């Protein structure tokens, strides 16, 4: 009997499901049946990467690769001057993958080995989307820009870049995310305005009152981005005066996200401004962002929604059943990790606090959604806050088991899989004594569901 290879979509889905199961099943499947797979998109953000997995994936021709904290990678080669990301990518990607890879995401707490930007430039000629999170200095960023003139999407959020020198080389860039960067000098920001094709810009901050002066610095440059259509300046120094100046000089802007900023009742004809000062306004903004298919703004909206839900704002008139359905709809439309995590946190809060307002049909679909997202929970449990977060997840699962047609087999399988993840982390030798004790404490939350 002739068995046809899986198509790209089925291969990527099968790989994702096998990674959730642990126990080396994914490595075994790729090693023995690799010729049936046609992997194109591999997301390993929340997983430890073993030598066996690296060798198995090397046989696939990838177009997109997402790697989590590379400090967890056992195979990694370390030198006195940093982590050799180039050697790792060489071991991970075959020659075909290097030539066709168009999307790469890397997270790293330790510094990279010297001269890595130039080497990656030469290795990945087709790269169009690049996201890097970690210790990247100004000189490395400048060299990175030189060889990636074809980039369409760049995310340098949460790096320690303080000067955008070299950015003028990114002549084709359309989307730029630079959240939480500390750039307060016009000379450090000026090359941003060389990006003549830029349509989306994210300069937001994760924390309120961060002290950033990014908007005032932007305006002090006295230059404009002619094609800019959306800007996220949430929790920055934007105010009514700055907003008026920005929108007057940038008539192309049609959407502004200013969550956590004092722009209430500020308006400009032809521009939608989302300031989201209440859960009700967040609800309306979430509908708008979803209809606009703006994932960046949707993700930020879900994040702020969870923050305000936790703050127990007055929401007597809010229909939580409708809010829950909207969050699930949003998560079905946008599947990036950050969007799913923020949406998951909102679902957990609604179930744990407003269960009496959720009908049986919503309970059934919410339970299925929560179980499908279990792999987004942190893989290591080194502090009490993470343990608390995961307890809330399982508290929500328990509340939802009263719904009709509850699939207890799926619940138990998910719990067992989570226990295996904790066991793996505890046995890796990478946890402190306090961390291992917290992990043992975590075991107790799974036992009642088995």
One domain for residues 135 and 215:
yes
Return the pLDDT at 76: 46
Residue 228 contacts by C-beta under 8 Å, 6 or more apart in sequence? 198, 199, 200, 201, 250, 252, 253
Torsion sign (Cα): 404, 408, 410, 414: positive
Judged by DSSP in three states, 383 sits in coil
Q: 225 near 195, Cβ under 8 Å? A: yes
Please indicate whether residue 208 or residue 122 has the higher confidence score (pLDDT).
122
Give me the domain span that covers residue 319: 289-357
Tens digit of each residue's pLDDT (9 = 90 or more) over 317-329: 778 899 999 999 9
Each residue's pLDDT tens digit, 179-223: 999 898 999 999 999 999 999 999 999 887 777 899 999 999 999
Q: Same domain, yes or no, for 76 and 210?
A: no
Last-in-domain residue among 328, 357, 386: 357
Please report, for residues 98, 167, 172, 260, the alpha-carbon distance to residue 156 in angstroms, rounded to integers and kept in the order given: 22, 12, 16, 22
Is residue 31 included in any domain, yes or no?
Answer: yes
pLDDT at residue 295 is higher than 80: yes
Q: Do 340 and 390 belong to one domain?
A: no
- Helices 337-353 and 320-333 pack at an angle, to 10 degrees, of 160
Same domain, 346 and 367: no
For residue 113, being part of any structural domain is answered with: no
Query: Contact, 153 vs 175, CB < 8 A?
Result: yes
Which residue, 247, 275, 303, sits at the end of a domain?
275
Question: Is there a single domain that holds both residue 367 and residue 270?
Answer: no
- How many percent of the chain have pLDDT more than 70? 80
Other Cβ atoms within 10 Å of 208 Cβ, number: 11
Using the 8-state DSSP alphabet, how is residue 268 labeled?
B
The residue-averaged pLDDT of 357-363 equals 83
Residue of 403, 405, 397 lying closest to 450 (CA atoms): 397
The DSSP annotation for 204-225 comes to: --SSTT----HHHHHHHTT---
Q: What mean pLDDT comes out for the span 225-238?
A: 93
Out of 189-193, 366-370, 434-438, pick the least confident: 434-438
The two tokens of residue 105 are 């995401």
| Sheet order of strands, 230-232 included | 41-44, 64-69, 103-108, 129-134, 153-155, 175-177, 200-202, 230-232, 255-257, 272-274
User: In this structure, are 393 and 333 located in the same domain?
Assistant: no
Q: Cα–Cα distance between 85 and 79 in angstroms, integer?
A: 11
Q: Say yes or no to pLDDT of 413 above 90.
A: no
- Domain match, 49 and 175 both: no
Pair 332, 217 in one domain: no
pLDDT at residue 289 tops 70: yes
The number of distinct structural domains making up the chain is 4
pLDDT at 75: 44
State the pLDDT at residue 231.
Answer: 94
Judge residue 89's burial from the number of C-beta atoms within 10 Å of its C-beta, 0-12 exposed, 13-18 middle, 19 or more buried: buried
- Give the domain-ending residue among 275, 304, 320: 275
């Amino acid at each position: 009997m002739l068995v046809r290879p899986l198509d790209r979509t089925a291969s990527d889905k099968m790989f994702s499901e096998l990674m959730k199961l642990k126990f080396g099943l994914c490595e075994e499947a790729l090693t023995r049946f690799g010729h049936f797979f046609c992997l194109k998109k591999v997301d390993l953000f929340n997983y430890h990467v073993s030598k066996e997995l690296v060798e198995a994936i090397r046989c696939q021709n990838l177009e997109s690769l997402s790697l989590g904290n590379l400090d967890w990678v056992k195979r990694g080669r370390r030198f006195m001057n940093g982590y050799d990301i180039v050697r790792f990518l060489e071991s991970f990607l075959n020659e075909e993958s290097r030539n066709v890879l168009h999307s790469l995401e890397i997270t790293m707490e330790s510094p990279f080995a010297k001269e890595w930007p130039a080497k990656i430039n030469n290795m990945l000629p087709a790269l169009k989307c690049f996201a890097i999170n970690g210790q990247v200095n100004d000189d490395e960023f400048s060299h990175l820009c030189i060889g990636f003139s074809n980039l369409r999407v760049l995310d340098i959020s949460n790096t320690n870049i303080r000067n955008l020198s070299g950015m003028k080389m990114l002549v084709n860039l359309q989307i730029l995310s630079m959240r939480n960067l500390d750039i307060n000098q016009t000379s450090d920001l000026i090359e941003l305005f060389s990006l003549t094709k830029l349509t989306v810009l994210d300069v937001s901050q994760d924390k309120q009152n961060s002290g950033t002066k990014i908007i005032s610095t932007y305006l002090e440059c006295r230059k404009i981005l002619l094609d800019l259509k959306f800007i996220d300046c949430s929790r920055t120094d934007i105010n009514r005066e700055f907003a008026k100046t920005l929108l007057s000089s940038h008539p192309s802007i049609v959407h502004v996200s200013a969550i956590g900023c004092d722009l209430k009742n500020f308006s400009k004809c032809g521009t939608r401004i989302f300031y989201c000062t209440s859960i009700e306004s967040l609800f309306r903004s979430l509908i708008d962002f979803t209809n606009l298919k703006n994932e960046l703004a949707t993700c930020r909206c879900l994040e702020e929604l969870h923050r305000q839900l936790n703050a127990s704002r007055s929401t007597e008139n809010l229909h939580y059943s409708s809010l829950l359905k909207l969050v699930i709809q949003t998560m079905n439309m946008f599947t990036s990790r950050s969007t799913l995590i923020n949406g998951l946190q909102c679902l957990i809060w609604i179930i744990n606090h407003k269960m009496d307002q959720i009908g049986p049909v919503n309970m059934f679909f919410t339970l299925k959604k929560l179980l499908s997202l279990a792999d987004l929970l942190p893989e290591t449990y080194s502090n009490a806050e993470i343990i608390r977060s995961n307890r809330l997840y399982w508290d929500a699962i328990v509340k939802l088991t009263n719904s009709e047609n509850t699939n207890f087999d799926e619940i138990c399988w998910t719990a067992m899989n989570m226990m295996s993840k904790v066991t793996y982390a505890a046995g890796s030798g990478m946890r402190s004594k306090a961390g291992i004790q917290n992990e043992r404490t975590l075991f107790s939350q799974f036992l009642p569901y088995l």
